């Protein structure tokens, strides 16, 4: 779990200019970089103050990179590069007030560089299967980035802009349009500030933003009829959604008996696999395959502010249940409209660690 969980700002990330393993934390003040330390100028942050203050933005910067890239693992790499660039360039920072936008500038440009290098883009979006690199984000880590005392309306917006559907749709946008949309419409930055960050004009930002919004309107589903501003703070799954999740888990464990729980046009995708199954008749053969694999045990969790189930499989002849997949549910009008399944075999057991879940379940007497 250490490769996913944020530590305290005082922990080390570098020795000199080199990252240490998978630790995603800020360097301690005693790290020697060989550049003479922070410049002696009026209002400049000391090394210890830089470490303390920058550490406050660690999780929200990671979420920002995740929105840009739609991959938890790639966001981790982008955050590490962001903190490394920030540490090397800290002498250019004038005082604490500009620290947050300065860090966002670095993080955004790191993501733009990554997108430029990968040269990948989604040209159409018939399903989430088109975004092969899509990964889930544990809600327990999203809570670290949520503003304290947020109003329900603000929490609703946060949920709508971290769901898997939103992340997939913004992959349709060119990188700079994507950055403009996230910074203006999600983070509520003024266009002039985004223009400064992207080294362009406010008019260019507004133009990019208009095109991005048009694309989003053309692809985003209508707001669910069962979603209201009275949802729990930070946008966690509602009581009704959790009740349906419980019914789904019980049905999965007894043989995937799901017809009454799913929409007629229910969809199932399994990134990074390119397959998309539509409708219960298409899903039924999958239930037969799952039932033939062995016994299942499910644990409730949540990802991207949606209800989810961690699914453990005990194959024939085995004593323990092993982490096999994570099912994220999108619910509309009281039924499951979409499953997004993330297989441990494709993403690795560390994905479960981010949800604070074990990779193995020992079941006595089963």
pLDDT grade for 30, boundaries at 50, 70 and 90: very low
Residues 308 and 302: beta-carbon distance below 8 Å:
yes
For residue 221, pLDDT over 80 is answered with no
pLDDT tens digit sequence for 60-102 = 999 999 999 999 999 999 999 999 999 888 888 766 678 999 9
pLDDT in the model for residue 4: 24
- Weakest-pLDDT range from 19-33, 61-75, 199-213, 348-362: 19-33
With a cut of 50, say whether residue 182 has pLDDT above it: yes
| Confidence band, pLDDT 50/70/90 cuts, at residue 150 | low
List, as one string, the DSSP characters of 173-198: S-HHHHHHHIIIIIS---HHHHHHHH
What residues form DSSP beta bridges with 78? none
Residue 329 and residue 304: Cα distance in Å, rounded? 10
Residue 295 pairs in a beta bridge with 314
Gap between the Cα atoms of 354 and 236, Å rounded: 17
What pLDDT does residue 9 have?
Answer: 28
Name residue 262's beta-bridge partners.
Answer: 336
Quick one: CA torsion of 329, 333, 335, 337, rounded to 10 degrees? -50
Residue 303 β-bridge partners: 138, 306
- Please tell me the least confidently modeled range out of 31-35, 165-169, 195-199: 31-35
DSSP string of 226-293? Answer: T--TTSPGGGPPPHHHHHHHHHHHHHHHTT---GGGEEEEEEEE-TTS--EEESHHHHHHHHHHHHHH
Report d(CA 363, CA 8) in Å as an integer. Answer: 35
Q: Could you give the domains of the chain? A: 14-219 (no CATH), 233-362 (3.10.450.50)
Q: What is the DSSP letter of 138?
A: B
Which one has a higher pLDDT value, 351 or 136? 136
348 Ramachandran zone, left/alpha/beta (phi>0; psi -120 to 50): left
Q: What is the mean pLDDT of residues 341-345?
A: 90
Q: Is the dihedral of CA 335, 340, 345, 347 positive or negative?
A: negative
Closest CA to 277 of 287, 267, 285: 267
pLDDT tens-place string over residues 67-76: 999 999 999 9
Averaged pLDDT for residues 249-266: 92
Q: Looking at residues 314-322, what average pLDDT do you find?
A: 93
The pLDDT > 70 percentage for the chain reads 77
By three-state DSSP, how is residue 238 classified?
coil
Closest to 113 measured CA to CA, from 181, 176, 196, 22: 176
- Write down the mean pLDDT value for the chain: 81
């Amino acid at each position: 779990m250490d490769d996913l969980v944020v530590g305290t700002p005082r922990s080390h990330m570098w020795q000199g200019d080199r990252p240490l393993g998978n630790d995603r934390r800020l360097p301690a003040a005693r790290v020697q970089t060989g550049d003479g330390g922070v410049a002696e100028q009026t209002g400049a942050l000391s090394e210890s103050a830089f470490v303390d203050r920058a550490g406050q933005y660690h999780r929200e910067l990671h979420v920002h990179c995740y929105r840009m890239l739609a991959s938890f693992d790639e966001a981790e790499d982008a955050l590490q590069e962001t903190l490394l660039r920030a540490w090397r360039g800290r002498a250019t920072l004038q005082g604490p007030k500009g620290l947050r936008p300065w860090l966002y500038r670095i993080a955004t440009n790191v993501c733009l560089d990554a997108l430029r290098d990968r040269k990948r883009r989604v040209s159409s979006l018939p399903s989430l299967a088109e975004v092969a690199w899509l990964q889930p984000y544990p809600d327990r880590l999203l809570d670290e980035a949520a503003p304290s005392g947020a109003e329900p309306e603000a929490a609703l917006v946060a949920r709508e802009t971290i769901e898997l559907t939103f992340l997939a749709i913004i992959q349709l946008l060119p990188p700079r349009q994507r950055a403009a949309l996230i910074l203006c419409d999600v983070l509520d930055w003024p266009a002039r500030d985004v223009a400064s960050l992207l080294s362009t004009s406010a008019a260019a930002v507004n133009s990019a933003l208009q095109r991005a919004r048009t694309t989003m309107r053309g692809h985003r589903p209508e707001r669910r009829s069962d979603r209201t501003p009275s949802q729990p703070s930070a946008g966690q799954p509602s009581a009704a959604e959790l009740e349906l999740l419980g019914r789904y888990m019980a049905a999965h464990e007894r043989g995937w008996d799901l017809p009454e729980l799913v929409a007629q046009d229910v969809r199932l995708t399994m990134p990074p696999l390119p397959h998309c199954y539509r409708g219960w008749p298409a899903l039924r053969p999958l239930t037969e395959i799952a039932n033939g694999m062995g016994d299942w045990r499910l644990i409730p969790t949540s990802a991207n502010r949606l209800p989810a189930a961690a699914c453990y499989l005990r194959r024939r002849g085995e004593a323990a249940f092993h982490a096999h997949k994570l099912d994220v549910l999108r619910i509309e009008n009281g039924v499951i409209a979409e499953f997004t399944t993330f297989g441990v075999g494709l993403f690795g057991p560390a994905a479960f660690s981010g949800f604070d879940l074990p990779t193995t379940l020992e079941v006595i007497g089963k």
